[in-house]
Amino acid sequence: MKKILTILLIIALALFAFSISGSSLVIIVGALAVMTSVKNFKKSGEENSESAESERVRNVMDEFWNTMDSFASKNESKTQDDDGEYETRQSGFFTVKYRKKPKTDSKPNAEYKPQPRQQYTEEQAKRLLRYIHDSTGEDTVRIKPSLFDSSLPFEKRVCASKFGGLPYWTRGEEYPKSEDGANLYLLAQINFAEVPNIADFPVRGLLQIFVNADEPYGCSFDASQKDWRIVWREVFSTSLAMSESELCDMGVKCAGEENEENQLPLKNEYALVFEKTKTYCHPNLCEFDDKLKNAAEVLGFFVYDKSAYEVLDEDSFNAFFEDGAKHQIGGYPDFTQNDVRREGDILLFQMDSEFFKDESGEMSWKNAILWGDMGIANFFISRSDLKMRDFSNVLYNWDCC
């Protein structure tokens, strides 16, 4: 009977310890303590009276609880070094470890405040465009090329404005050459007597731009005129010009000639018509983002710290750009890649890419002006140099898609 009671006591204590701490080590230590005490109790049970037997039972229980209390105290110090996933609580003689419950924010949610739009509305974009349009306009001369009338005698077109063809040149004058000694090709010739006047540009005189016929078209993307050249003439006259045959005898070739060396962006000679207009700041220019932010501030719109590409929808963004080729003198330049202007630069001359119709009325590659893959070429000069008619520090650049 005593054995049965002993076994039941051990099981009860083990279950009690497990329910409190969940630690197998606590159960084992407690069980060993009880078994040891019970064994000692059995050996002396036969020699003592009933009252002595009761005293030993109390001693056994005291020894067990002391053991449990000592173990729990050690476990508490370890729990204090835990990684924060658990918390300790006192339960009777024991310090018990519990897994913490995730914290929840009991505070009421702050009042929802809608975020500003990430783009301007269509109406806002129109007003921004109008403000930029009205505040940034610059006088510009647009150039309209067309195929030259081949039946027109050379003497009639030698001093005319043109893209390609043979240039105006005088006898005894050294012809512009590339670094390897090859004659350069005439890219453009501008007779300013035919051009509507804009501030600081000449009202008369002949500006000639020569380039190499290789694929980069003589461009070194700087102001060093090694494989390209600018020639400026204050005075010129048809009577002083070399004839077509004299130029050919000197080895001068033109864009309209079919030959293996000719890799120019144009294959024909084009007559030019000029029209005065205005151009405006647009998103391909480095200053446009500041212009847009200033316009938004003046109009009382939200000022985004983002580029125009991010805050204007596609239709509004495209509204800043014009259709058609942009051959021009002065005004705002255009680029297919990056804005390369130096500080203080203004646009001296720009030649875009363009297709022209052939005799059948179809667009033809043979009649196209092409800078690479639909690119554009620019020539930049400082305003002070332009006023002085000093064309030695002109920046030549072209890029394409």
- pLDDT, one tens digit per residue, over 342-352 is 999 999 999 99
- Mean pLDDT is lowest, of 111-120, 128-137, 149-158, for 111-120
Measured between alpha carbons, how far is 85 from 45 in angstroms, rounded to an integer? 49
Residues 153-189 as b/e (b if ≥16 CB within 10 A, e otherwise) read eeeebbbbbbbbbbbbbeeeeebbebeeeebbbbbbb
**What's the full length of the chain, in residues?**
401
Q: Is the pLDDT of residue 391 over 70?
A: yes
The sign of the CA dihedral 67, 73, 76, 81 is: negative
First vs last C-alpha separation in the chain:
101
Measured between alpha carbons, how far is 228 from 212 in angstroms, rounded to an integer? 6
Backbone torsion region of residue 241, taken as left when φ is above 0, otherwise alpha when ψ lies between -120 and 50, otherwise beta: beta
Query: Strand locations in 118-269, DSSP E?
Result: 138-147, 162-163, 185-191, 206-211, 228-233
Residues 361-389 have pLDDT tens digits of: 777 777 889 998 889 999 999 999 999 99
Q: Is 295 exposed, middle or buried (0-12, 13-18, 19+ CB in 10 A)?
A: buried
Bridge partners of residue 396, in order along the sequence: 379
- The CA angle 220-226-231, to the nearest 5 degrees, is 110
pLDDT at position 79: 44
Kindly list the distances between the CA atom of residue 21 and the CA atoms of 24, 32, 91, 133, in Å, as whole numbers in the listed order. Answer: 9, 17, 10, 79
pLDDT at position 223: 78
Taking only Cα atoms into account, the Rg of the chain, rounded to an integer number of angstroms, comes to: 47
Residues 169-216 have pLDDT tens digits of: 999 999 999 998 999 999 999 999 999 999 999 999 999 999 998 878
In the numeric block, the tokens 């203004």 are attached to: 346
